[in-house]
Amino acid sequence: MSNSTPTFDPIIQSQASKEITANAYFDAVSPAASFGRRQSTSSGLTWGYYGATITVDGVLTQIANGTLTLTASATNYVETTRAGVVSKNTTGFTAGSIPLYQVVAGASTVTSYTDYRLQAPPATGKLAKALSDANTTLTAAEAWNQILQFTGTLTAARNIVVPLAAQQWTVFNSTTGGFGLQFIGATGTGVTVAAGKRAIVYSDGTNVVRVAADVYSGGTAWPSQPRQPPPSSPAPWA
């Protein structure tokens, strides 16, 4: 839309009721304000935000405007679940949640904030992570990637803990040592991918499940028993 020839109705200096044209613009682009900071309800340690229309498991859902109370003298991470529930914490953006704002609060008021909203889902990213021979919980930024590759030397099978929000990953256990990696949530059951294998897995909100069987890094499936030739049929005249 940002062409050299604009497609919006222009606001002309001499026109009357400029606010009508301006408000029509805001109405047209209101989806871009989803979960954005709402000035009129933000004051002191109260953070106001605009609602949104989102899809929750295929159902169009309207989220109302709202407010939340920030923690004083701390950095607040404002985020929403995929169901549109807005919350904050003072630790960091939660894996599986959608980041909105990082808000620095003083004793009684906000001193600064940074907008982390995304207007479109991120493109497929790839995480290449070297493990330290221990169970590993992915950070929010790491879990956003749709391709996960792990290296390092293992002395035992290890867990890769992923968020249980609905998401799918293509995973590659490129570690050495001959041990599997189990992809699992903080609760529920998981999927173990053997060393040197790739798999497609996803979280269904409760467990991590497998979409396709493990394949070798070269793209072939697990080796099967050699196929035996069919028994010879006796000649019809025997």
Tokens of 190: 């998981």
Q: Which of 155, 159, 163 is nearest to 202 (CA)?
A: 163
220, pLDDT greater than 60: no
pLDDT for 120 equals 54
* Average pLDDT of the chain, as a whole number: 86
Token pair 């050299």: residue: 4
DSSP letter at 217 equals T
pLDDT band at 149 (very low <50, low <70, confident <90, very high): very high
Q: Are 100 and 117 in contact (CB under 8 A)?
A: yes
Higher pLDDT, 88 or 237: 88
Mean pLDDT of 103-130: 86
Q: Are 93 and 78 in contact (CB under 8 A)?
A: no
Mean pLDDT of 56-66: 85
In a 3-state reduction of DSSP, which class is residue 74?
strand
DSSP letters, 103-171, are EEE-SSSEEEEEE---SSPPPP-EEEEE--SS-EEPPHHHHT-SEEEEESB-SS-EEEE---SSEEEEE
Higher pLDDT, 123 or 7: 7
233, pLDDT greater than 50: no
CA angle 125/128/134 to nearest 5° reads: 130
Q: Which of 220, 198, 200, 197 is nearest to 210 (CA)?
A: 200
Higher pLDDT, 67 or 226: 67
30, pLDDT greater than 50: yes
